[in-house]
Chains A and B, each alone.
Chain A
């Protein structure tokens, strides 16, 4: 290119040359250097907060507290003793909400009538309205069962799908078909293998 380029600068090269490569000895911007110092100060502060002074919570503590909160949410349903669940089953609000959940998720096996096999021999799920229970008929036991499921029988674990609140609702709905203090029969549950 024939244009004349003023390259004049008072920059001095270092005296040495390696295979023709020369070096300036310029400074980089101070702000760049400052970012290094800032990150070092951040390390000191962060270490102090979490390790040296121990003010910050550990990861395990944080997640345990968060999970405890979620657990509490679930427990607020389950530790609700039988009495409370019975009470809910009398509450129109709970029952109405539970009915919606039931009709969305449970009718496939237990039928809209809740009567399952009693109503139709081809139904999959057992009758939820009679006094015979396979895994225990106390409201808390029912709650636990919906939460965890019975894998071998095909009852899914609804806990992770529905969450604690909806399960409480649906249990309230089921128990609304029962009376507190009714005589119940508990059958021994099947052996835990998917054997025919």
Chain B
């Protein structure tokens, strides 16, 4: 099929959607420069971080091990029980809010520097492609070339590597939930023994492969909501990658009289991974990857002109005014971030190494026998520590003469385990004057913490109890 010439980017259409709806594959040219280097370093650090977490052991567990099967979560040496899962809220909202804050100041830096999509694509898959198929010109030529042995070999090699790399990434992701040894165990066994996991991994790996080998910038342009939200979160003082039109326009070859600094070499367009022209202003597709900055700086340096024709700056600054960093909005965000961080720290500080639940046994709310009124509860003790713990339970604020049955000795709860035991309270009919509240309190033998629960003791209306007793006598 003949490939129409790539459309030059414009404001009216998306470059990666051709008039017939097909998608031109983008071959961004190589770019070198200070931002490219810095991004590479940070990306490799992030990838190393991602890959190593399941391997690093802290307190005997992987640094991140979200063990849903055993209903516990290990995070950098801390162990959380299922009952603590609500803290995930602080992770989600914290990440989201930090994104807001950072975006208000620096624009879409997340997209360009830290998003897994960009990090893996620009620093793993594209380098592999570069290695196997050569630079942009050769890649484009190879794609256009008729089928040949070399083409088949190169393509096969590239896609094999892509599949392999995808499989490694997805299996390590799985390891976050089942731990590395378990993943290894499953890999070595027949898929039929863990069919659902196998199918999930097959789909997940294929999807990863598809996204990074073909789909690429379409994720950012069409699918991803965060990029758009981030665009909406910018303002005139927000840092963004832009083109200094004051300095650059009108464009013209070097030496043309009256021409600005832009020599219309279009390097910034050729290096762009989302196929836009940054000189047309802020656009939806821009993921802030900095390639155009490096490309333009390179050209400017060679021409002996100052760099920064394309640069990180606020729209204010591009318009010749000053960028305000401290503005009502960033103050508000900072304040909200402080509040959020304080609440999160407080919430985490309220965590105890144990959890207690007191629920009434299913059935009658109270039981009357010949001499007593009785209430029965089930107490659930959760030990979140990695070692067995002895818990002591006592009942406070109950009227005198209440008899507590169960928990007469300390209860040993295994490491990261749960114990459910009955607790029974009874009061002599004669002493009974009506329902009352009491408090169940647990602490460990070392008294390193204590936990309380308010509980109700129920019974009949005292008047009716007496009335039913009277005729008996």
Contacts and interface: CB of A to CB of B under 8 A. Distances in A.
Interface stretch (A61-69, A84-92, A130-138, A150-158): A150-158
B361 interface: yes
Interface residues of A, number: 38
B22 A124 contact: no
B21 A27 contact: yes
Contacts, number: 117
Interface string A10-48: 010000000000001011111111000000000000000
A26 B13 contact: yes
A124 B426 contact: yes
A109 interface: yes
B60 to A, nearest CB: 26
A6 interface: yes
Contacts of A154: 361, 363-364, 367, 374, 376
Contact of A30 (B10, B22, B460): B22
Contact of B422 (A29, A105, A160): A105
Contacts of B17: 26-29
Contact of B10 (A8, A26, A149): A8
Contact of A1 (B12, B319, B426, B460): B319
B368 A11 contact: no
A26 B319 contact: no
Contacts of B21: 27-30, 33
A155 B20 CA distance: 74
Interface string B350-373: 000000000001111001111000
Contacts of B369: 124, 196
A109 B245 contact: no
B206 to A, nearest CB: 14
Contact of A27 (B19, B215, B421): B19
Nearest to A33: B21
B405 A29 contact: no
A93 B13 CA distance: 76
Contacts of A6: 10, 277, 279-280
B273 to A, nearest CB: 17
Contact of A104 (B20, B277, B421, B424): B421
A168 to B, nearest CB: 18
Nearest to A194: B364
A161 interface: yes
A192 to B, nearest CB: 11
B144 to A, nearest CB: 20
B406 interface: yes
Contacts of B420: 105, 161
A72 interface: no
Interface string B389-433: 000000000000001011000010000000111111010000000
A25 to B, nearest CB: 10
Contact of B23 (A26, A29, A108): A29
Interface string B13-40: 1001111111100000000000000000
A4 interface: yes
B337 to A, nearest CB: 32
A189 interface: no
A26 to B, nearest CB: 6
Contact of A5 (B280, B364, B367, B370): B280
Interface string A177-196: 00000000000000000111
A2 B10 CA distance: 18
Interface in A108-163: 108-109, 122, 124, 149, 151-154, 156-157, 160-161
Contacts of A26: 13, 17, 19
A109 B426 CA distance: 11
A4 B243 CA distance: 11
11 contacts: A3-B245, A5-B11, A5-B281, A9-B10, A26-B19, A30-B20, A105-B422, A108-B421, A124-B374, A154-B361, A157-B362
Interface of B: 10-13, 16-23, 215, 218, 222, 243, 245-246, 249-250, 277, 279-281, 319, 361-364, 367-370, 374, 376, 378, 403, 405-406, 411, 419-424, 426, 460, 465, 468-469
Given A26-B13, A108-B423, 6 more contacts: A5-B11, A27-B21, A104-B411, A124-B369, A156-B363, A195-B368
